[in-house]
Chains A and B, each alone.
Chain A
Amino acid sequence: MNIGEPIVLGIETSCDETGIGIVRGRELLANALASSVDQHAQFGGVVPEVASRAHLEAMLPTIDLACSQAGVSLPDIDAIAVTAGPGLVGALIVGVASAKAIALGLGKPIYGVNHLAAHVMVDELEHGPLPEPVIGLLVSGGHSSLIKVSNGDFTSLGQTLDDAAGEAFDKVARLLGLPFPGGPMIDQAAQSGDRNAIDFPRALRSDPAHAFNFSFSGLKTAVARWVKEQQRCGNTISVPDVAASVQEAIADILTSKAIAAALDQNAPHLVIAGGVAANSRLRALAAQRCDAAGIELRVPSPGLCTDNGAMVAALGSHLLRVGATPSPIDFPATSTLAVSEVLF
């Protein structure tokens, strides 16, 4: 127990998860979550208005749940951190308005923070202080980016030029008739498939202008074309083989670029975060390749990889520790926010 360290409440509402986390220093006290994912399934993707409505409904019950998990009440909180972007503006607004009220009501400082930076910083709750410099590979339904953290500064090394990796999983899952969200479904189907069955393209593999960028939109097209061709020839399609081969293509390109970034930046540590970090093949391939390259791999447990409030609290706690100036009370919520803008 680190009794002396400040308690930070974190609020996350950038997409379809209402997350409330509570930390004391780097110790995780609570990570409560309410998800509207089931309400979006019928639409095949996240509907912003549905998400915003669900956040407002879930906010107080989820705060109550987090407080009881942590055994604290709101007046015990020393600071509030909230995701201010990037994300769905209507959804973010619910979290930011709630956070402002709690901060003002308690007379405590508020930090409007960057969702992407929070994804990386959450690793401190499980594996201790982040070594620097460290590379973050951030992969989810909303983002695919490579980040460098050095001297407390977050720098973007590259990102997807079109679809996010998780989006690619979703789209391919729909092509194969698997339900939303596609990532876990593909992972499951791939267990009994042959990952070398089909050689799907690895976009931007050796394009020096895009060394650390990704592109996943072509993958969906390639899968669709392949499926159509098989149907034309009257061949039966093995969903497990397609799933395993697609997953291999995605895991391969993500890990090879992440490791290239680590070597290029002389950063012998890699954190993989975001919902896609739960993918079993990505984890296995990353472990194998990091080992071979002498890079330390840190992957938070799945509950801290998907969007959650603890990651926001972890970043808030970090900002408090380094003496960052709290955000002005009129800060906005914004759909786009570069990772270098850690704090409003």
Chain B
Amino acid sequence: MRILAVDTSTALSSIALVDSGSVISMASHTDARGHLEAIGTLFTQLELDLNSLPDLIACGVGPGPYTGLRVGIAFAQGLSAAWSVPVVGVCSLDAVANAIIREGQVEPGSEFIAATDARRKEYYWAKFDCSGTKLSGPSVDLTEVVASMAAELEIPLLTQVLPHAIDIAACAQRGDRHDVTPMYLREVDAQPSAPVQL
């Protein structure tokens, strides 16, 4: 199965074309604010043949900072509409866990917490076993809370790995799929404005 995968849930924007586990082409760009500017160029760098479309589109649905996150999801949705190819969502932390395991950062039999920057001194995090199965999360909490939880459980807290499209494709390939709905995890913090004083 040929999967076109996208993720913009962190400062790393990435896109990849993966055929049954082997990477055909990929491109990435790191910029915490420039997802929209980068995404089109990354797509062209894939040099995809428009006469030979992928079977599936997979996009990271976060959790991640909203504005960047929506770039990748909107882009994946747009490709899906243009091509009439189905699109699925993948939890971006599942992709992080996949990368951590792929890179051999986890001892066999152990659990770990994967976390990414949620700004406001918070992490987006989830707990996984060594096979990449999610045990809890995704959630958003203060960095110190997540750190003390990991310390209490005596499991590693891994915060330096960013989700990449090749891991999004791997998760989609093995069936870790979600709706194409962003995992915001926080309510919109807008208060109804106070009545105007006469």
Chain B residues with Cβ below 8 Å from A45 are 193
**Residues of B contacting A: mostly:** helix
CA gap between A45 and B82 in the complex, in Å: 34
Chain B residues with Cβ below 8 Å from A269 are none
> Is there an interface contact between A107 and B50, defined as CB atoms closer than 8 Å?
yes
Known pairs A97-B74, A101-B79; A329 contacts B67 (CB<8 A): no
Chain A stretch 277-300: residues in CB contact (< 8 A) with chain B: none
Report the interface size class on chain B: 35 or more
CA gap between A149 and B184 in the complex, in Å: 43
**Cross-interface CB contact of B192 among A44, A60, A99, cutoff 8 Å:** A44
Digitize A23-34: 1 where CB-to-B-CB distance is under 8 Å, 0 elsewhere.
Answer: 000000000000
The answer to the question of B182 belonging to the interface, with a C-beta cut-off of 8 Å to chain A, is yes
**Cross-interface CB contact of B77 among A47, A60, A75, A227, cutoff 8 Å:** A60
Chain B residues with Cβ below 8 Å from A331 are 37
Known pairs A329-B40, A330-B41; A98 contacts B75 (CB<8 A): yes
> Is there an interface contact between A100 and B193, defined as CB atoms closer than 8 Å?
no
Chain B stretch 26-43: residues in CB contact (< 8 A) with chain A: 35-41, 43
> Is there an interface contact between B192 and A102, defined as CB atoms closer than 8 Å?
no
CA gap between A101 and B74 in the complex, in Å: 8
> Is there an interface contact between B81 and A93, defined as CB atoms closer than 8 Å?
no
Known pairs A49-B66, A60-B81, A74-B82; A97 contacts B195 (CB<8 A): no
Q: Determine how close the nearest CB of chain B comes to the CB of A218; give it in whole angstroms.
A: 15
Q: Determine how close the nearest CB of chain A comes to the CB of B3; give it in whole angstroms.
A: 15
- A92 nearest in chain B by CB position: B36
CA gap between A332 and B196 in the complex, in Å: 36
Chain B residues with Cβ below 8 Å from A100 are 36, 39-40, 43, 75, 78
> Is there an interface contact between A97 and B39, defined as CB atoms closer than 8 Å?
yes
Known pairs A175-B196, A330-B37, A330-B41; A102 contacts B78 (CB<8 A): yes
The answer to the question of A333 belonging to the interface, with a C-beta cut-off of 8 Å to chain B, is yes
> Is there an interface contact between A99 and B66, defined as CB atoms closer than 8 Å?
no
> Is there an interface contact between B198 and A231, defined as CB atoms closer than 8 Å?
yes
> Is there an interface contact between B50 and A332, defined as CB atoms closer than 8 Å?
no
Q: Which of A102, A104, A171, A331 has the most CB of B within 10 A?
A: A104
CA gap between A227 and B196 in the complex, in Å: 13
Chain A residues with Cβ below 8 Å from B78 are 59, 97-102, 105
**Cross-interface CB contact of B70 among A56, A175, A231, cutoff 8 Å:** A56
CA gap between A90 and B182 in the complex, in Å: 14
CA gap between A175 and B40 in the complex, in Å: 46
Q: Determine how close the nearest CB of chain B comes to the CB of A231; give it in whole angstroms.
A: 7
Chain A residues with Cβ below 8 Å from B80 are 60
CA gap between A74 and B188 in the complex, in Å: 33
Q: Determine how close the nearest CB of chain B comes to the CB of A58; give it in whole angstroms.
A: 11
The answer to the question of B157 belonging to the interface, with a C-beta cut-off of 8 Å to chain A, is no
> Is there an interface contact between A329 and B44, defined as CB atoms closer than 8 Å?
yes
Chain B residues with Cβ below 8 Å from A227 are 198
Digitize A220-239: 1 where CB-to-B-CB distance is under 8 Å, 0 elsewhere.
Answer: 00001001100100000000
The answer to the question of B190 belonging to the interface, with a C-beta cut-off of 8 Å to chain A, is yes
The answer to the question of A174 belonging to the interface, with a C-beta cut-off of 8 Å to chain B, is yes
If A50-B190, A90-B66, A104-B40 are given as contacts, then 14 extra A-B residue pairs at C-beta distance below 8 Å, sorted by A number, are A43-B191, A49-B188, A53-B184, A93-B67, A95-B74, A97-B35, A97-B36, A100-B36, A101-B43, A101-B76, A105-B50, A174-B195, A231-B198, A329-B44
Residues of B within 8 A of A (CB): 35-41, 43-44, 50, 66-67, 70-83, 181-182, 184, 188, 190-193, 195-196, 198
Offer 26 A-B interface pairs, CB within 8 angstroms, sorted by A.
A43-B192, A44-B192, A45-B193, A47-B190, A52-B70, A56-B70, A59-B77, A74-B82, A93-B36, A93-B67, A97-B74, A98-B75, A98-B78, A100-B39, A100-B43, A100-B78, A101-B75, A101-B78, A104-B40, A104-B44, A175-B196, A224-B196, A227-B198, A231-B198, A330-B38, A331-B37
Residues of A within 8 A of B (CB): 42-45, 47, 49-50, 52-53, 56-57, 59-60, 63-64, 74-75, 89-90, 93-102, 104-107, 171, 174-175, 224, 227-228, 231, 329-333
